[in-house]
Structure 1
Amino acid sequence: MEKQIVIQVEHLSKKFKNESALKDLNFSVRSGEIFGFLGPSGSGKTTTIKILTGQLAQTSGRAMVLGTPVEQINESIYEQVGIVTDNSGVYERLSVYSNMKFFAAILGVEKEQIDFLLTRVGLFEHKDKIVSKLSKGMTQRLVLARSILHKPKVLFLDEPTSGLDPSTALAVHELLSELKAGGTAIFLTTHNMDEATKLCDHVALLNEGIIVEHGTPIALSLKYNQNKSYQVLLKDEKEFTLPHSVETGEKISMWIANDELVTIHSNEPTLEHVFIELTGRELL
C-alpha cells in the first residue's frame, strides 16, 4: 500500500522585505519516512519549519500538513504534530519529570510513557533535576522526549542532535527509526550530512533558499560519482586506490582467490562532497 503524503509543498516562497529567504520550493513527505532538509546555517531550513507549523506566513505558494493548508492549521492538527526547535519551550523552574507530566496531561498520555521516554533519551536518572540546571544537550533531549509523548503523525526536528554526545545521539537515532517504523513522518533539518545519510529516506539540499538537488542519499552520491574508484586493503597492510577498469577487476579477483583481500570500498562522494560540488560552499 502506498504511503500517504502528509506534507505537500508547491512553489513555496518567502521574502523578508526585499530579501528572498525561500525560492519556489517543491517537495512532499510521506508517512513512515524521514525527510532530510539539508543545508548550512542561514539557508532557510528553520524558516521552512516555521511556515509548515503555522508560525510564519509564506509570501507565495502552497503548503499543506496532514491535508490542511498551513494558513488553517488549528489545535486538531497540532495534536498530531511534534516540534523540536531551538526555541521549543520548557518550564525551567519545574523538574524534568514535572515538565513531562504537565504535557502528558494536556495531551492525554499515560504517565507510564514518561518513564519510558526519559529512559530512551538518557534522562531518567535526572528526572528530579530542575530544568534550569540542565546542560544544553540535556535540555535538547527533554524537548525531544516531550515532542513525541503523544506519538505524533508528523515530527519536525530542527538540528535535533546538535550538542549531543555520540552515545546519546545514537540513542536518539534509534528512537527516530522506531518512530518511522510506526508510521511517523519525520521532517529533519541538519547540516550534518553523515547523520542525514544514515537516517534519511530522501533528502533535499538547500542553498540560499533554493533546493539545488533532491533524491535518496545513495542515488545522489552515485549520480555525482564521476571518477569511479575503489579503496583496497590487503593482508600485508598495503593499500591501493584503483580506478574502475577491467584490470582492477582482475586484480581484485586474484586477491580474493589468494585470500589476500581484507577490505574493499567504493569511493563515491559523500552528501557533503555533493553539496560542495553543487554550491561551492562549505557546510557550517
Structure 2
Amino acid sequence: MAYTISASGLRKRYGDVAAVDGVSFDVEAGEFFGILGPNGAGKTTVLEIVEGLRRADGGEVSVLGLPPWPRNPRLLPRIGVQLQSSAFFERLTAREQLQTFGSLYGVPAARADAMLEMVGLTDKAGVQVEKLSGGQAQRLSIACALVHDPELVFLDEPTAALDPQARRNLWDVLAGISTEGRTIVLTTHHMDEAESLCDRVAIMDAGRILQLGAPAALVRGLDAPARVSVASGTLPVEDARALPAADEVADDGVSLVVSTRDPGAVVAALAAKDALAGVRIGGATLEDVFLELTGREYRA
C-alpha cells in the first residue's frame, strides 16, 4: 500500500533530551490520524519533521511519496499546515488574509469567500483579525491552511485554549473537512477530541509511541470495568456492595457509583430494588487508556 505518510525510526535529540526516540507510523489516504500525548511528549517535533520544518537526526519519512527534508517545494502546494501558534498579517480583514495566503499559491481571490463560508466566518469577512475571538481566529487559521485545496492537512493542537463551545464548533468544521476525503493529521492532548474525530491515534510519551490503533479498539483493549451510577441515597452503600457483580462501590453524596464487569446484572438488581433514579452507565474512555499508559503525575 502506498501510504500518504510513512515514518520509520524517527529520532531527534536536543542535548541530552531525546525529543523523538524511534517513532514509526503510517497514515493512509483519507484517514483522520491523531498524535496524542502530554506536554513534552514529542508530538509537535514529530509533526515538524514530517512537515519538513525540522530535520530528523535519524530515521526516514515519506510524505505523498516524497521526502519532506530538505524543504521540498514539490510538496508545498499539496500540504496545508496549521501551526500550534498562528500569526496573521496585521490590520488585514479575514477576507484579505485568505486572499493573501491564496495568492502565494496562485489561487483566485474569489476562493476566499468560499473558504470563509466553509469555516462559518462569512459574517466576519470584513473584520480585522485582531478583533476576532479565539475560536474565530482558529477557524480562520484552518481556512488559510486549506485555501489552496491541499491533499494533506496538518493541525497542531487547533483547539488549545478555546472554551468548550468554541472547541465543539471547531470539531464540526474539522469533521466536515474530513468528509471531503482529505488526509488529516492532528496533534492534541484533548482525549475527547481525538475520540470524536480520529480514525486512528498514536499515543506518545517521552518521545515514543506507546500504543497505536482505533480509539474504540484501544479502549476495549484496556479491559476496564463499567461504572453504573444512581442518585446518592437511592440505595444504602452496604446494600449496593451486596449487589451481584459489584466490584467497588463509592458514594460522594451526589452519586452512588458501582464498578462492575457485568453492568447488566447490576442494573437488573437495582431495578428489582426500585433503585434506578438517575441511573447512568459509563465505560472506559480514551482518557482512561491515556492515563494508564502515561501515568497520572503532574507534568510541568
Give the TM-score, by structure 1 length: 0.85
Partner of 1:5: 3
Residue-pair matches, total: 277
Q: Which runs of structure 2 are paired with 1:1-284 in the superposition (5 Å)?
A: 5-226=3-224, 228-233=225-230, 241=258, 243-245=260-262, 249-250=264-265, 252-253=267-268, 264-268=280-284, 270-280=285-295, 281-282=297-298
Deviating 4+ runs (over 4 angstroms): 236-240, 253-264
Q: Distance in 2 between matches of 1:259 and 1:85?
A: 54
Percent of pairs with identical residues? 34
Secondary structure of 1:52 counterpart: helix
Unaligned runs of 5+ in 2: 236-255
Instruction: Write the deviation string for residues 137-169 of structure 1: whole angstroms up to 9, x where unpaired.
Output: 433222111111122211100110123333332
Structure 1 stretch 111-120 or stretch 203-212: which is displaced more? 111-120
Shift of 1:102: 1.8
Instruction: Write the deviation string for residues 58-96 of structure 1: whole angstroms up to 9, x where unpaired.
Output: 000001110112225522311011101134442123222
Unaligned runs of 5+ in 1: none
Q: Distance in 2 between matches of 1:21 and 1:180?
A: 29
Structure 1 stretch 35-44 or stretch 253-262: which is displaced more? 253-262
Structure 1 stretch 26-35 or stretch 173-182: which is displaced more? 173-182
Q: Distance in 1 between matches of 2:114 and 2:166?
A: 15
Q: Distance in 2 between matches of 1:87 and 1:93?
A: 18
Whether the 8 Å CA contact 1:272–1:283 is kept in 2: the answer is no
Q: Distance in 2 between matches of 1:249 and 1:87?
A: 47
Q: Distance in 1 between matches of 2:299 and 2:136?
A: 25
Whether the 8 Å CA contact 1:137–1:162 is kept in 2: the answer is no
Instruction: Write the deviation string for residues 206-242 of structure 1: whole angstroms up to 9, x where unpaired.
Output: 111111122111111221234x2341559x9775525
The verdict on how the C-alpha distance between 1:167 and 1:39 changes in structure 2, with shifts beyond 3 A counting, is: same
Shift of 1:111: 4.3
Shift of 1:57: 0.4
Give the TM-score, by structure 2 length: 0.80
The verdict on how the C-alpha distance between 1:257 and 1:241 changes in structure 2, with shifts beyond 3 A counting, is: closer
Shift of 1:20: 1.2
Secondary structure of 2:290 counterpart: helix
CA RMSD for the aligned pairs?
2.8
Secondary structure of 1:63 counterpart: strand
Q: Distance in 2 between matches of 1:214 and 1:139?
A: 31
- Which one has a bigger Cα radius of gyration? 2
Secondary structure of 1:8 counterpart: strand
The verdict on how the C-alpha distance between 1:266 and 1:135 changes in structure 2, with shifts beyond 3 A counting, is: closer
Secondary structure of 2:53 counterpart: coil
